């Protein structure tokens, strides 16, 4: 049976002419938040950050979307609240990780739905997440949050583990996680990441953790008001990650939530969200199921707010992360429709270049026109130069595959890897 896209969930059409939604730091969402609110009859106001406080990659960027007004937050919470005073604010959301703290502060001042500002860092600082969960008796990776390389090296020498990972504590810093096997690797990764954090004007703290072995899952969750006003956490999507023999990301598959593993992960994640003080909003989390121990949270973050796979998911399942976040602050909106069985099988496949090169025109056309390919992500054009893939962030791109049958997805996945072996990256540079 041919795969049929599922229409998005019915949107609320009732208009709220006197109530507006505030989206804080909506960078990189291509107007997705404004579109979701506007479709429900809620005009939007964007709160932008002062240009001098933005990271270098956002310098000169503009906020896109249908916004009734754009306000610049210059650092004074009082002034920003004053600028919003003429509007009857009914909802506040963070449009990116950069807006989490300010969004919670504004929601509290404006008496809108939001999280306790005192818990805001727990939704974007993975070091604080680990410390908080450990204090509550929840298993976390062994690690340390520090701004000192000497302290990190001492910690690594004390534990003498075979492999570590280094990451920025603040998920607002879009820097790839580095894997390290020696003190030298650690020092090189540490200095590079500290330079990046300094250039972006972000928290200098980094996190050094043990590298966990086990099955890797990515969970999308949404939290809002349930029956009788109680906080309700809902896992909306579960992705199972597969690694190539090289250790690089191969593919992530959307898992049927009715399976045993998703149920175990859901129960664990609901406890984690309670401990982290999450009462509103959508999060993406990475978990590792360690043999003999169970699920362990590696990181939880609020975004990215929207990517190509999210857009495909909206077509296939009726919801995505942005719609989930909007529903969380507009409880009168209907819940996303559940797609009837059979559920589509969706996979996100990373391209893996074994060496520097350029994309071959014929083989690129072959992989992007496979029957189950629904979306190509990245600069995938004939002759485009590619670098050797060393992690998921350095992949030439990603293909989103979807079909009613996993066998069809697996067939096209094998075809992609075959094209890579046959010379996908040995084309003529443009």
CATH of the domain at 68: 3.40.50.20
Task: Classify residue 335: in a domain, yes or no.
Answer: no
Calculate the alpha carbon distances from 271 to 134, 216, 226 in Å: 13, 19, 16
Q: Per the domain annotation, does 28 fall within a domain?
A: yes
Query: Alpha-carbon distance 233 to 324, whole Å?
Result: 11
- The low-confidence residues of the chain, meaning pLDDT below 70, are 1-18, 303-309, 331-342
In a domain, 67, yes or no: yes
Cβ atoms of 36 and 26 closer than 8 Å = no
Say how far apart CA 265 and CA 294 lie, in whole Å. 9
pLDDT computed for residue 414 by the predictor:
98
Asked whether residue 21 falls in the same domain as residue 107, the answer is yes
Instruction: Please check whether residues 111 and 21 belong to one and the same domain.
Output: yes
The pLDDT of residue 344 is: 84
Specify whether 114 is located in the same domain as 1. yes
Cβ distance 353 to 388 under 8 Å? yes
Phi, psi of 36 (to 5 degrees): -65, -45
Asked if residue 413 and residue 352 are part of one domain, the reply reads yes
Residues 102 and 196 in one domain: no
298 and 287 Cβ atoms separated by less than 8 Å: yes
Number of domains in the chain: 3
309 occurs within a structural domain: no
Q: What is the pLDDT of residue 305?
A: 57
Considering the domain boundaries, does residue 282 fall inside one?
Answer: no
Asked if 95 and 162 sit in the same domain, the reply is no
Here the CATH number for the domain that contains residue 357 is 3.90.1170
The Cα–Cα gap between 393 and 154 comes to 29
Instruction: Using alpha carbons only, give the angle 285, 291, 293 rounded to the nearest 5 degrees.
Output: 70
Task: Give the domain-ending residue among 210, 228, 252.
Answer: 210
Question: pLDDT, tens digit, for every residue of 400-430?
Answer: 999 999 999 999 999 999 999 999 999 998 7
User: Are residues 91 and 155 both part of a single domain?
Assistant: no
Q: Are 144 and 166 in contact (CB under 8 A)?
A: no
Is residue 50 domain-shared with residue 164, that is, in the same domain?
no
The answer to whether residue 376 is domain-embedded is yes
- The domain boundary, picked from 58, 89, 123, lies at 123
pLDDT tens column, 177-227: 899 999 999 999 999 999 888 877 778 899 999 999 999 999 999 998 877
Q: What is the pLDDT of residue 355?
A: 95
Q: Are residues 53 and 153 in the same domain?
A: no
Q: How far is CA 187 from the centre of its chain?
A: 27
Does residue 182 share a domain with residue 94? no
Domain-ending residue, one of 62, 89, 123: 123
Statement to judge: residues 98 and 163 lie in one domain: no
Position 22 in a domain:
yes
* Residue-number span of the structural domain to which 75 is assigned: 1-123
pTM, full prediction: 0.88
């Amino acid at each position: 049976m041919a795969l049929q896209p599922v229409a998005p969930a019915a949107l609320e059409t009732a208009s709220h002419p006197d109530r507006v939604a505030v989206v804080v730091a909506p960078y990189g969402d291509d107007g997705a938040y404004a579109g979701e609110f506007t479709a429900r009859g809620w005009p939007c106001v964007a709160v932008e950050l002062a240009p001098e406080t933005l990271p270098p990659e956002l310098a000169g960027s503009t906020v896109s979307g249908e916004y009734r007004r754009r306000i610049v937050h210059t650092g004074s919470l009082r002034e920003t609240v004053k600028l919003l005073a003429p509007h009857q604010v009914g909802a506040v959301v963070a449009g990116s990780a950069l807006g989490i703290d300010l969004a919670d502060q504004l929601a509290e001042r404006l008496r809108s739905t939001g999280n306790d500002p005192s818990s805001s860092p727990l939704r974007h600082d993975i070091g604080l997440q680990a410390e908080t969960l450990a204090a509550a008796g929840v298993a976390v990776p062994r690690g340390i949050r520090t701004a000192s390389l000497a302290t990190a090296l001492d910690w690594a020498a004390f534990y003498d583990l075979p492999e570590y990972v280094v990451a920025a504590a603040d998920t607002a810093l879009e820097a790839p996680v580095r894997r390290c096997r020696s003190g030298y690797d650690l020092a090189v990764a540490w200095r590079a990441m500290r330079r990046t954090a300094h250039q972006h004007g972000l928290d200098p703290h980094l996190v050094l953790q043990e590298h966990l072995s086990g099955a890797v899952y990515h969970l999308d969750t949404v939290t809002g008001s349930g029956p009788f006003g109680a906080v309700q956490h809902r896992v909306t999507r579960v992705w199972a990650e597969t690694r190539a023999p090289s250790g690089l990301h191969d593919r992530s598959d959307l898992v049927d939530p009715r399976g045993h593993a998703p149920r175990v992960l859901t129960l664990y994640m609901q406890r984690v969200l309670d401990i982290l003080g999450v009462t509103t909003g959508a999060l993406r989390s990475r978990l590792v199921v360690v043999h003999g121990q169970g699920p362990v949270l590696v990181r939880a973050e609020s975004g990215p707010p929207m990517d190509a796979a999210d857009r495909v998911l909206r077509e296939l399942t009726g919801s995505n992360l942005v719609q989930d976040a909007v529903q969380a602050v507009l409880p009168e909106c209907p819940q996303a429709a559940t797609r009837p069985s059979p559920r589509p099988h969706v996979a996100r496949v990373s391209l893996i270049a074994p060496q520097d090169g350029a994309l071959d025109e014929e083989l690129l056309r072959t992989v992007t026109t496979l029957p189950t390919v629904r979306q190509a992500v990245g600069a995938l054009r004939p002759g485009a130069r590619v670098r050797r893939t060393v992690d998921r962030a350095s992949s030439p791109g990603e293909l989103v595959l979807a079909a009613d049958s996993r066998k069809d997805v697996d067939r096209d996945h094998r075809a992609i890897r075959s094209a890579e072996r046959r010379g996908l990256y040995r084309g003529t540079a443009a």
